[in-house]
Amino acid sequence: MKTFAHKQVIRRFHVIAFLFSLVGLAIIGKAAYIMFVKRDFWRGVSERYVKDSLVIKPNRGNIFSADGQLLATSLPEYKIYMDFVVKDKDSIRQDTLQRYRDSQIVKHLDSIAIGLNRILPGKSVKWYKDRMLAGMKKRSRHWAIYPYRISFIDYKEIRKLPFFNSGRNSSGFHVETYNETKKPFGSLAARTIGDLYPGKDSARSGLQLAFDTLLRGKPGYAHKQKTLNQYLSFVDVPPVDGADIVTTIDVRMQDFCEKTIVDQLREIGGEVGIVILMEVKTGDVKAIVNMTRCSDGEFREVKNQAVSNLMEPGSVFKPMSFMVAFEDGKISMDDKVDGCNGQKMMYGRRMTDHNWRRGGYQMLTIPECLEYSSNIGVSSVIDKYYHNEPEKFVNGIYKIGVAEDLHLDIPGYSPPRIRRPRKDGSNWSKTALAWMSIGYETQVPPISVLNFYNGVANNGRMMRPRFVTAAMRDGKVIQEFPPQVVRERMCSPEALSNIQTCLEWVVSKGLGKRAGSKHFKVSGKTGTAQIWSRAGFMRDYLVSFAGYFPSDQPQYSCIVCIQKHGLPASGGMQCGPVFSKIAEMVMTATTNQNLRDAQDTVHTLMPVVAGGNIGYANMVLDEMSIGSHLENADESIADAAWGKASLHDGRVNLKAEMLTADKVPDVVGMGGRDALFLLEKMGIKVKLTGVGVVVQQGLAPGHTIRSGETITLRLSCKAGASPQELRPTSLDELKAVQQDSLKDENSLE
């Protein structure tokens, strides 16, 4: 039996253990050397290859109208640049890459210039070539190829150009990105929606500024690690995109209000036009217009004067004065006032009515003081009962909510300024009360004036004007902004009823007749105020009409203000018609109309149905109980099917056609809007001539679509004609369409 070599094994174990101990000590020593001696060196290496705390910008939220239409969104815009210099640590490699880049630029210069001219036709082919060569000569590292910003679609097309498509490192082509606010409805409610500072995600006005915290979102953070000669990004904290906000603005109402006030401003030579339309029960602002005549004669929204204009309101203030007097029991509907033939001396200062040259008014009842907007009637009543205690009258004005600070969401809002008399009377004259009662000596913005009338319409419940109803993210509501009550009760029911009656009589019997409607009752008050300069000279007039409709069950309140030079100046004559048009439009738009109620059950008149989205056509025909048949469209795509329409045996035959993504469809016989939508969705630029139904298309059906291609569509409005009858009937007409299409194709080259 062989004995175990115990001593020999132990000796070897000690040797191995000793060697491992030496290795361990060496590793510890090396680590200590790196940690302490070479610390600064390796930290510098780390910083060169790792980029920490890189900010990831969130997407800014959108602003929507009350009916879900997009009012403002942030879209990227780009400025395109070239880097003509190659940088590399290895000088030999750098020279090689530089020669390659220069040769490729020269080789593809013509193609690049032609492509840029096709995508951005604002500059010629020669201009682009000269621009590229100039930057190459200067060896610029950040050379602007095009002086203006471009859209994302144009940027994508430019990236496809020869040499540019090889990436930044190879070509030197790069961009700077800017987030810009885009408004699909142009200048509609521009001041209320607001803007961002150019090139920055920083709000400067309107709802953009008021809700900037919600719209902006929260930035994320990332770091980059260099691996195998390229940087890889690692997100540490993901960004939180901004929330969308839903406004109370109604696009149709806003658009109509803008057009109506601008038309009136042009007709009477006005300088400033303001319209605010509010929903009575909620205080929702459905439209807000601030139009100012600019130096070129056009009207634009320059300042949100509807919430910031601290001018003396004039006669629209008179119902507020009478509400205080009714509430205090000083007057009744049967009281009478001496009109003094239109002229009266008030403590050494003459006050007149608008008809003083014709003898003015004689005896007036309290309602007639408002119906005929008598300055003497209103001021005499208020001065009689409050001259010795003006603070009681002013306290009453505050009590009914006229002077309330509404804390509106719109930046620039100015609360009313209604001064209180001091105990020593140092800020109060004998005439102050008389003139305050008829709308002078006070400064109240139009939004606060309207809020008073809205409260009267709402049976004394004064609401805070609301501009935003909710904030949403990913289609879910994250914050609601419910209606808020400013005054649960402005005054007693009796005082309120008296004011409501007076306002209705102003329109039915008084100076506000032109604000009325034949279809429903309107209540309101006219206003005309003189605007004085600092030097004490009469400068302009502010005419207005404020009220609500319909009188029996008020749904909306509205104020119309116009600032103009010189006479004639009349709130009833110049603002009343605008109010009337807006009221009738709103009531028409908000009345639920059932198409079946308009159906003719006696005659069998068949509608003219153009081609296009036959899914929608089928839905309308079904709603009108008109026979139709949908071919070649299964149930899953029936609502979005495109095709043609024809009449057959008293029925409308709708035939769906299959579309090919890279082929031009046959749009002859389609409505202009449907044809435009379909073709642009397929990436084809469209040029329309005429109106009505498409009768000729410049590119034949089945033509292979090329990028940037333009098609000319000729439209005709020959009523009731079939697509075959609408096609060109003369050789000259056909040649004209073909020539238009040829011009568009040549412009691309």
Could you write out the DSSP letters of every residue in 631-676?
ES--TTTGGG-EEEEEEETTEEEEEE----TTB----TTBBHHHHH
Indicate the pairing of strand 220-227 with strand 50-56: antiparallel
3-state secondary structure of 387: coil
Q: Are residues 492 and 626 in the same domain?
A: no
Number of structural domains in the chain: 4
Find tokens 């603070």 and name the residue.
Answer: 391
Residue 702 inside a domain? The answer is yes
Instruction: Mark which of 222, 246, 270 sits at the end of a domain.
Output: 246
Which of 211-220, 634-643, 685-694 holds the top average pLDDT? 211-220
Lowest mean pLDDT among 194-198, 457-461, 533-537, 673-677: 533-537
pLDDT of residue 469: 95
Q: Are residues 556 and 644 in the same domain?
A: no
Lowest mean pLDDT among 47-56, 84-93, 682-691: 47-56
Q: What angle do CA 453, 454, 456 make, to 5 degrees?
A: 60
Q: What is the mean pLDDT of residues 534-563?
A: 88
Q: Are residues 329 and 471 in the same domain?
A: yes
Q: What is the mean pLDDT of residues 662-673?
A: 83
Indicate the pairing of strand 628-631 with strand 651-656: parallel
Higher pLDDT, 291 or 749: 291
Residue 601 inside a domain? The answer is no
CA distance 375 to 352: 7
Indicate the pairing of strand 285-293 with strand 299-300: antiparallel
Q: Are residues 462 and 510 in the same domain?
A: yes
Q: Which of 502, 488, 420 minimizes the C-alpha distance to 459?
A: 488
Confidence of residue 627 (pLDDT cuts 50, 70, 90): low
In this predicted model, what pLDDT tens digit does every residue of 462-518 receive, in sequence order? 999 999 999 999 889 999 999 999 999 999 999 999 999 999 999 999 999 999 999
Residue 115 inside a domain? The answer is yes
CB-side neighbour CA atoms (13 Å) of 205: 16
Q: Are residues 282 and 195 in the same domain?
A: no
Q: Is 392 exposed, middle or buried (0-12, 13-18, 19+ CB in 10 A)?
A: middle
Q: Are residues 670 and 630 in the same domain?
A: yes
Q: Are residues 256 and 234 in the same domain?
A: no
Residue 596 inside a domain? The answer is no
Query: Percentage of the chain with pLDDT > 90?
Result: 45
pLDDT higher than threshold 80 for residue 356: yes
CATH number at residue 122: 3.90.1310.10
In contact, 610 and 645? CB cutoff 8 Å: yes
Q: What is the mean pLDDT of residues 98-123?
A: 90
Q: Are residues 18 and 62 in the same domain?
A: no
Phi and psi of 425, rounded to 5°?
70, 15
pLDDT higher than threshold 80 for residue 722: no
Residue 598 inside a domain? The answer is no
Q: Which domain holds residue 620?
A: 612-748
Lowest mean pLDDT among 158-167, 209-218, 359-368, 651-660: 651-660
Higher pLDDT, 657 or 432: 432
pLDDT of residue 480: 94
pLDDT of residue 377: 94
Q: Are residues 261 and 205 in the same domain?
A: no
Q: Are residues 232 and 315 in the same domain?
A: no
Residue 107 inside a domain? The answer is yes
pLDDT higher than threshold 60 for residue 743: no
Residue 524 inside a domain? The answer is yes
Q: Are residues 322 and 469 in the same domain?
A: yes
Indicate the pairing of strand 468-473 with strand 612-613: unpaired
Instruction: Mark which of 191, 224, 246 sits at the end of a domain.
Output: 246
Q: Are residues 114 and 149 in the same domain?
A: yes
pLDDT higher than threshold 70 for residue 14: yes
Instruction: Mark which of 246, 272, 289 sits at the end of a domain.
Output: 246
CATH number at residue 684: 3.30.10.20
In contact, 443 and 415? CB cutoff 8 Å: no
pLDDT higher than threshold 50 for residue 748: no
pLDDT of residue 725: 41
pLDDT higher than threshold 60 for residue 598: no
Which residues face 276 on adjacent strands?
Answer: 288, 559
Residue 642 inside a domain? The answer is yes
